[in-house]
Amino acid sequence: MKIILFLLCLILILPANEPLFKALPLNEPVHAQKSKLGQKLFHDTLLSIDNTVSCASCHPVLNYGVDNLSKSFGVKGQIGDRNSPTVWNAVYNFSQFWDGRARDLKEQALVPITNPKEMGETLESVIIKLKNDEYYARRFEEIYEDGVSAHNLADAIAEYEKTLTTPDSKFDAYLRGDTEALNVKEKEGFELFKNKGCVACHNGQNIGGNLYQKSGVYGAIQTQGPLDLGRYLVTKKIFDKYYFKVPSLRNVEMTAPYFHDGSVENLKDAVKIMLMSQLGRSLSEEEVDSIVAFLKTLSGTVHE
């Protein structure tokens, strides 16, 4: 751990022009027909066992891809195990889910369908439903040589999710060279974000989503309920206990509540907790306000 922290400190003293961040692509290439099919599937409750829950139930697109609940409700009113992360910009994460158990959007797409607490279906049953639906049967046959299949279902949903990006944030404009895109307070917050160590985990084009980190380096974040062992539940490696994928901070202003257990409602409180538990720092109210001001520049425009 000491070696890791030392290397992270080296990152923080690199020259000011070191590209720790990257603006999002203005357009993500997609297959238009697949994306349109995926959009319909994403919003269709047919994928759940009792036709009550869709992907959009927990990830309402126009609400920045979150339901603003600590933990989402699945079929039969069941409550999920973790906070539902946003689907916006998820294509830029290096893995999916808090514990990284899916490598990409395609692998992720089918997991909620078969999760008994979420959509509670079987892939076999879903495929039968889709084949018996005149619209879906026709559209799959038009787009895919082998028609309806689990692979093609995942492919279509993932193709739609690739369109869910927000490249027009103030911070993206700043990264593209518009030095006036951020005001004085926001720029101060950005400097604090870098100099106080937040950048060690939240960097790259998605301002996170590109590594795993231990939750609570200097003290536990989770204060209620059984401790979530995080990535350990996937790998069974002792080192991975309490490690989670670092979330993207894009649109973070709009995606409360925060953390894997959805335990914190307020962004300023979340910043304070992270500063103390991950970096062992306590900043002034003014400094925290500046960091929050910067984080709000990461919000972009959402669309259906």
- Judge whether 153 and 126 are in contact, CB under 8 Å: yes
Exposed/middle/buried for residue 137 (C-beta within 10 Å: 0-12, 13-18, 19+):
middle
Told to judge if 18 belongs to the known catalytic residues of this protein, a careful annotator would answer no
Q: Look at residues 32, 54, 59, 38 and name the one whose alpha carbon lies nearest to residue 155.
A: 38
Tracing tokens 């911070």 back to the chain, one arrives at: 171
Is the separation of the CB atoms in 296 and 253 below 8 Å?
Answer: yes
Cα 33 from chain centroid (whole Å): 25
Peptide bond into 257 cis (omega under 30): yes
Place of tokens 């001001």: 293
What are the residues whose beta carbons fall under 8 Å from the beta carbon of 295, sequence distance 6 or more? Answer: 189, 193, 249, 252, 253, 267, 271
Backbone angles phi, psi at 105, to 5 degrees: -65, -35
Amino acid (one-letter) located at 286: E
Catalytic residue, chosen from 118, 159, 161, 186, is: 118
* Catalytically active residues, by annotation: 118
